[in-house]
Amino acid sequence: MSKKDLISFIVIYLLTTFAILFSGCRKTQTIPTPPPINKEFFNSPENNVKNGDIINFNLTTVGVYTLTMIDTVQNQVVTKERFTGKIGVNSLKIFTKTLPTKYLSVVLKDQNNQQIGKTRIIIN
């Protein structure tokens, strides 16, 4: 083996060694797990919400549904929204800024006035 070949071998060996050492020195980054997107809104007896939150719920049939918010203290309807639901996960954005109370019942009914879901909400 000539001196030139030996120097080439040593250079390649050192470059390979440094490449292996430095590739193992990467900083690991932990990616936080996002909260579940499709949390079923009506599975909890009580939910904390804020203005602009999106609520998710599953429907088994296509049809017209009504989402009603009721003041739990005075037992009065505060707001009522009709929408066309689809099979599977449905999402609605709720706006709470103008609601007069902090504690509400939320009731979901189908077009035959059958209750599909019910929960209480606390507005933050």
pLDDT at 9: 72
What is the mean pLDDT, run by run of 10 residues, along the chain of 124 residues? 73 72 64 61 93 94 96 92 95 88 94 95 91
List the domain range (segments joined by +) for residue 95. 41-123
pLDDT at 68: 96
pLDDT at 2: 75
Global pTM reads 0.67
Q: Is residue 115 one of the residues assigned to a domain?
A: yes
Q: Is residue 105 one of the residues assigned to a domain?
A: yes
Q: Is residue 51 one of the residues assigned to a domain?
A: yes
Q: Is residue 81 one of the residues assigned to a domain?
A: yes
Q: Is residue 5 one of the residues assigned to a domain?
A: no
Total count of domains within the chain = 1
From 91, 94, 96, select the one nearest 124 (Cα to Cα): 96
- Is the Cα torsion angle 100, 106, 110, 115 positive or negative in sign? negative
Q: Is residue 10 one of the residues assigned to a domain?
A: no
In order of 11, 24, 39, 85, 100, the CA distances from 117 in angstroms are 72, 53, 14, 14, 23
pLDDT at 62: 96
pLDDT at 98: 85
Give the tokens for residue 107: 């009731």
CATH assignment at residue 79 = 2.60.40.1220
Q: Is residue 26 one of the residues assigned to a domain?
A: no
